[in-house]
């Protein structure tokens, strides 16, 4: 994460039970829905000394965690665990 070149990474796994362990380590997710009402589970984290980007961890297809740097403006309202984002709204 400290590398300016990092943009995204995928963690794939084969054991279905493993996702629960990793998800527990990540904390409370931000759950919402995408096209056709499909659920989406994501976690958002601030990047120290970076007021332009955040880390998004997206849980996909019960076998992939996608870690990605995203623009801070793409973090949903209240997307950061335990704090309010865009508190002026």
pLDDT tens digits for range 2-48? 666 788 877 777 766 666 777 788 888 888 887 777 778 889 999 88
Q: Residue 53: how many CB atoms within 10 A of its CB?
A: 18
Burial (CB < 10 A; 0-12, 13-18, 19+), residue 56, is buried
So what's the pLDDT on residue 74?
93
Angle, CA 78 vertex, CA 8 and CA 23 arms, to 5°:
50
Domain edges within the chain: 8-74
Beta bridge partners of 11: 65
* d(C-alpha 27, C-alpha 87), whole Å: 21
List alpha helices for the chain, DSSP H.
18-26
Of 73, 75, 62, 54, the closest CA to residue 22 belongs to 62
pTM for the full predicted model? 0.73
So what's the pLDDT on residue 75?
93
């Amino acid at each position: 994460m400290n590398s300016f070149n990092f943009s995204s990474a995928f963690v794939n796994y084969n054991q279905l039970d493993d996702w629960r362990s990793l998800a527990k380590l990540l904390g409370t997710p931000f759950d919402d829905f995408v096209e056709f009402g499909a659920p989406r589970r994501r976690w958002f984290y601030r990047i120290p000394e970076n007021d332009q980007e955040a880390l998004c961890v997206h849980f996909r297809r019960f076998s992939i965690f996608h870690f990605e740097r995203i623009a801070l403006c793409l973090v949903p309202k209240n997307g950061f665990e335990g704090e309010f984002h865009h508190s002026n709204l």
